[in-house]
Amino acid sequence: MSGLDPRQFLELVVRPALASLPAHLATPAAEQLVIGTAAVESKLTWLRQLPNGPAVGLFQMEPATFRDIRDRFLLGRPAFARAFELAAVAVVPEADELCWNLRLAALCCRLRYAMSPRPLPPAGDVPALAREWKATYNTHLGAGKPEHFEQAWATLIAPANLWSAP
């Protein structure tokens, strides 16, 4: 089974989504964390959680998390709210939009990490990115482990050499 091409996903989805945010949120570390999240959560393939879970989109975001971002986190953060409004198609989007609106999905993934008070790990430090994914995105309640992120990175992202010179 194959999913999306990681280079196209980075260049056509992740970078444009992050570019709509303040520059300090659109760093190589942020790109790596967002694309790594899609790799571990959906293998860059699945749009609904298997077998019957509530999570949706390539980032497998739960509807409750999406609503928390939309209804609470964006309040008082006009730059984030504007990026969200520009990415969304619906005036008041619902979580199902994350299945087909890849820009909104990538943006919401980055906003989920922005909700954490911790700074992002350095770019290129995959074990630290994996720990941040577990702590912030998968949380202590999730079944994922940092090793799952690292394995997804090694099999799906690393072979594409996305951050090396062409």
Q: Does pLDDT of 1 surpass 70?
A: no
The mean pLDDT of 56-60, rounded to a whole number, is 96
Q: Does pLDDT of 49 surpass 80?
A: yes
Q: Does pLDDT of 166 surpass 70?
A: no
Please report the sign of the dihedral spanned by the C-alpha atoms of residue 51, residue 33, residue 116, residue 103: negative
Q: Does pLDDT of 5 surpass 90?
A: yes
pLDDT tens digits for 101-157?
999 999 999 999 999 999 999 999 999 999 999 999 999 988 899 999 999 999 999
What's the Cα-to-Cα distance from 35 to each of 2, 61, 128, 130, 165, rounded to whole Å? 16, 14, 15, 12, 18
What are the chain's domains?
Answer: 6-160 (1.10.530)
Q: Does pLDDT of 9 surpass 90?
A: yes
